[in-house]
Amino acid sequence: MNQSKIAEGIYWVGAIDWNIRDFHGYSTYRGSTYNAFLIIDEKVTLVDTVKRSHLDDLLFNIKAIIDPEKIDYLIVNHVEMDHSGSMPEIMEIIKPEKVFCSPMGKKALIDHFHREDWPLEVVKSGQEISLGNRTVHFIETRMLHWPDSMFSYLKEDGILFSSDAFGQHYATSERFDDEVPFSEVMQESAKYYANILYLYSPLIRKLLKAVGEMNLDLKMIAPDHGVIWRTHQNAILEAYDQWSRSESNKKALIIYDSMWHSTEKMAEAIRRGIEAAGVPVTMINLKVHHRSDVMTQVLGAKGVILGSSTLNNGLLPRMAGFLMYMRGLKPTNKFGASFGSFGWSGEAVGLLNNALEEMKIDVIEEGLRLKYVPDEEQLSECTAMGRRIGERIAESFENQ
């Protein structure tokens, strides 16, 4: 019971997924949680449900506190199936008086479950409901990261149920941010942002401004994944502000794939040049790094240098796949360059440059394409290009 109680009369009743390692293409090495919350008041209220595979966990946790049939209201902050998958069974068990959702949430619930007989009640931004001694204030958060998303703020307790915002894929039996290593929580928060919310950064900036103007007394931020923020609320809010502004660090990434090590040799030479300019650089070989971990690095780097050998007049498959993934997340405010080896055609560098330009990344070098195995003179060209890239990155921070 102590592990489930997060405030007086408010309980975590979600589920821990210790074994999940892939979340639609996002690597989840630390597992995840599907958070749901129970509010005991005159109107007993369940905030969100869980993935259908973890229905038994949800019911077990609710039953430890109250008979599920005594739940009056259900609040659906987000309709994605890791939060609503168990709704058909839950609806049959608790038979709530009302199910509160956003306008787009109602449409999404009907489209997912085809149950127009459910007592769905639409709430909009600024609307409030009384649970008895407590008041829930609703804030629509469209496209963070689905059209139906919304926040629910429990005014008297200062708890913001924030749906997928401020979350982490992080399996732990501890419930709060101050009970686990802070560095791990922030690392997983950055990864979550980079791979799920990055695309919506302009909307997040507007949301942060709007929430700031509401002057909410945030004692806790309770997301639908990971731990609850009760100590480091300002830290995660400041991180979201920085990430949503695409504020980069003085750092470069060399992201590459190589067929017979020639492109890899070019990458090493470029690295030496960037380091000589006094800029930290990280080497990322796509053979051994998952795309979601690479995107987490992209979030905080100023320079993104891409390298690929040419294969069948195109890119190596891992690079082509990574570019498709990165395009969808639309990183901004970065410098880019490309390089690669080839045998007889050599299209890879042009394709990489085109991809960078499509993403509106500032391409600061024409790119280097070298035939077969680079010699010492050619590797010196790579080092010189790396130095120019490093100097450009360093200069951009001097002018800030």
Name the residues annotated as catalytic.
24, 78, 80, 82, 145, 164, 192, 225
CB 170 within 8 A of CB 32: yes
What string of H, E and C letters represents the secondary structure of 326-380? HHHHCCCCCEEEEEEEECCCCCHHHHHHHHHHHCCCEECCCCEEEECCCCHHHHH
* DSSP codes of every residue in 216-284: ---SEEE-SSS-BBSS-HHHHHHHHHHHHTTPPEEEEEEEEE-SSSHHHHHHHHHHHHHHHTT--EEEE
Report residue 57 as tokens. 């966990």
CB 225 within 8 A of CB 35: yes
- Crossing angle, helix 103-113 and helix 87-94, to 10 degrees? 100
Alpha carbons 400 and 398: distance in angstroms, whole number: 6
Establish whether the linkage from the previous residue to 112 is cis, with ω within 30° of 0: no
State how beta strands 37-39 and 368-371 pair. Answer: unpaired
**Collapsing DSSP states into helix, strand and coil, what is residue 315?**
strand
Alpha carbons 106 and 109: distance in angstroms, whole number: 5
Report residue 237 as tokens. 């809010």
Element (H, E) at 109: helix 103-113
Report residue 208 as tokens. 């942060």
